[in-house]
A = this chain, B = another copy of it.
């Protein structure tokens, strides 16, 4: 009944359609119609998926006339990354690679 943040975020991201929507939104905000276009399912189904993402806080909606602009909110993904990071001591073998990745990425900024 509490349905806290992680419950909703994990559940929302367990659907491949919704992960694909999130991925596309990472490249920029989008209307619901444009999000729905590439999928082989009804517009209404995609609209529902967007609502699930919204309820989970993964996405924010701003209305502009009849169009709804859907934008990614990265906070819940951050929370998930934070949750996963508690298991880092199980993946010490990957720490070096990650650190290296972060360093080279930093240089590029």
The chain A residues found within 8 Å of chain B, CB to CB, are 4, 6-8, 10-11, 13-16, 19, 23, 26, 72, 74, 77-78, 80-81, 83-88, 90-92, 94-95, 98-99, 102-103, 105-106, 109
Q: Beyond the given A72-B90, A77-B87, A80-B80, could you list 12 further A-B residue pairs with CB under 8 A, ordered by the A residue number? A: A6-B13, A6-B14, A6-B16, A6-B19, A10-B13, A11-B11, A26-B90, A72-B87, A74-B90, A78-B94, A92-B109, A99-B99
Q: How far is the CB of A107 from chain B (nearest CB, A)?
A: 11
Question: Which residues of B are found within 8 Å of A80, using beta-carbon distances?
Answer: 80, 84
Q: State how many copies of this chain the complex holds.
A: 2
Q: In the assembled complex, which residues on chain B have CB atoms less than 8 Å from the CB atom of A98? A: 102
A78 neighbours in B (Cβ, 8 Å): 84, 91, 94
Beta-carbon contact of A7 and B16 below 8 Å: yes
Report the minimal beta-carbon distance from A81 to chain B, rounded to whole angstroms. 4
